[in-house]
Amino acid sequence: MRVAVIGGGPGGYVAAIKAAMMGANVTLIEKKRVGGTCLNVGCIPTKALLACSELLMGIKEAKSYGINIDGEVNADFESMMNRKDKIVDQLVKGIEFLFDKKGVNLVNGFGKLIDKNKIEVSKEDGSKEIIEADKIILATGSVPIVPPIFPYDGKKVITSDEALYLNELPKSMVIVGGGVIGCEFGQFFRTLGTEVSIVEMADQVLPFEDKDIAKQLQRAFKKDKIKLLTGNKIQSFKIKGNVVVANLEGGKSVEADVMLVSVGRKPYLENLGIEELGIEVEKGKIVVNEKMETSIEGIYAIGDIVDSPFLAHVASKEGMIAVENILGKDKNINYTAIPRCVYTEPEVAGVGLTEKQAQEKCIDYKLGKFEFRGLGKAQAIGKFQGFIKVLADNKDRIIGASIVGPHATDLLSELTLAVHLGLTVEQVGDAIHPHPTLSEGLMEALHDVHDECVHSVGKAKAKA
């Protein structure tokens, strides 16, 4: 079986390796570097930079731990960027090494569908190559959205792509959009000394999370002296000398050296050949069935170009599902338990339904909640802001969870498994959790669903 994959991001490269491991003859076509947005201009480089700012914050707070640091502590922006680049380069080489060992043929160039079994690859030197395959997987990912109102130039008005390759630290920055990207970049640059303003149309940052979750992060931003302009929309703006001036609908204005536009991403489908082949597209996304197959038999699509969350781990899972179906298995994808993570300080993570979504769906649910400050481990490490929240339906099944606090993204896995398997509050809450750990907070929140939390005053007494 010959399988060709267009796009080498976390969906495409995982699909390629999986197919090769299952015995297929695999060719992956990538116009830039393998790893896609996630590895090159997304998840990994941003986390590498956030690790730097987190360490800097820790050093500045060292005195509260009984550690005195003599002399000044300064951030070397150039060195941070270089460190980030080295990490990305190492991981890219790691994928290429796996390709070599697993037998994946990597072709560099821009792939375009000619028919259901042929791909034309245009290379940098102007040459073209035709790749023939029995099955094709489209995994071309997404690009940042830049509304026409913003005169994007990649210098004064930038996206997350350019933010990761700035040559020097901006003195001030206005970020348009208080979602995951805006919040992570905002806190990173503010920690390094940049004056940061975040403009968000919704009445809170992280609009898709519950208000109590967003409130915790906004409290941290206020402490960091990040200027939050929620419930605001940019009406117009101009570049005045070396400064970008944004005028808001309410009459306010904000100015900065650089404007970072982070209002979302859109599927990358340009010149892919999908229109010529008649592949069904709805609202800018390729339509697929539960097997990840498009309207054209033998052509599959995964990741940001289909109607599923723009998340690397979702793309990877879709890639594996597509490959298994291509190679004879009967697999469906389950989107019930998709983890979502924000790597700010404090971290934010969630899975399944939020409380707001449960209410909108008129689902009868019970709630359990536990604050990190009640944990000995959280007090010991000096990170106790935030809480864990668990939702259960009327059959006691865990249908959602949200965490805001230390290591939230790591703690989420246990609850993700619970939602995925349809486990009950009693089943997971009965498990012995190690002490002292942050994971005890999961147990306490689960116990709180039935008002059985030992380390809490309880719902009834709390209301009294």
Catalytic residues: 435
142 is in an annotated binding site: yes
180 is in an annotated binding site: yes
Contact 400, 357 (CB under 8 A): yes
Q: In sequence order, which ranges of 197-342 are alpha helices (DSSP H)? A: 211-223, 274-277, 312-326
Question: Token digits for 311?
Answer: 């998340």
183 is in an annotated binding site: yes
Enumerate the β-bridge partners of residue 392. Answer: 366, 398
**Sign of the four-CA dihedral 421, 426, 430, 434:** positive
Q: Phi and psi of 440, rounded to 5°? A: -60, -30
58 is in an annotated binding site: no
304 is in an annotated binding site: yes
Question: Token digits for 229?
Answer: 């302009």
328 is in an annotated binding site: no
C-alpha 211, offset from chain centre? 19
Alpha-carbon distance 321 to 276, whole Å?
Answer: 26
109 is in an annotated binding site: no
Q: Cis link prior to 148 (omega < 30° from 0)? A: no
Alpha-carbon distance 375 to 437, whole Å?
Answer: 8
Residue 204: CB atoms within 10 A of its CB come to 19
**Sign of the four-CA dihedral 390, 338, 396, 356:** positive
319 is in an annotated binding site: no
Task: Please report, as a single letter, which amino acid is at residue 143.
Answer: V
140 is in an annotated binding site: yes
Contact 205, 214 (CB under 8 A): yes
CB environment 132-143: b (16+ within 10 A), e (fewer): ebebbbbbbbbb
* DSSP letter assigned to residue 306: B
| Among 305, 197, 214, CA closest to 256 | 197
Alpha-carbon distance 35 to 8, whole Å?
Answer: 6
| Among 279, 172, 266, 273, CA closest to 227 | 172
The alpha-carbon radius of gyration of the chain (Å, integer) is: 24
46 is in an annotated binding site: no
Q: Phi and psi of 43, rounded to 5°? A: -50, -55
179 is in an annotated binding site: yes
182 is in an annotated binding site: yes
Alpha-carbon distance 334 to 464, whole Å?
Answer: 42
Q: In sequence order, which ranges of 192-333 are alpha helices (DSSP H)? A: 211-223, 274-277, 312-326
103 is in an annotated binding site: no
371 is in an annotated binding site: no
* Local structure of 432: helix, strand or coil: coil
284 is in an annotated binding site: no
Enumerate the β-bridge partners of residue 200. Answer: 230
Which residue in the block uniquely carries the two structure tokens 């400064």? Answer: 243
141 is in an annotated binding site: yes
> Could you tell me which residues are annotated as the binding site for NAD(+)?
177-184, 200, 264
> Could you tell me which residues are annotated as the binding site for FAD?
47, 111, 140-142, 304
> Could you tell me which residues are annotated as the binding site?
47, 111, 140-142, 177-184, 200, 264, 304
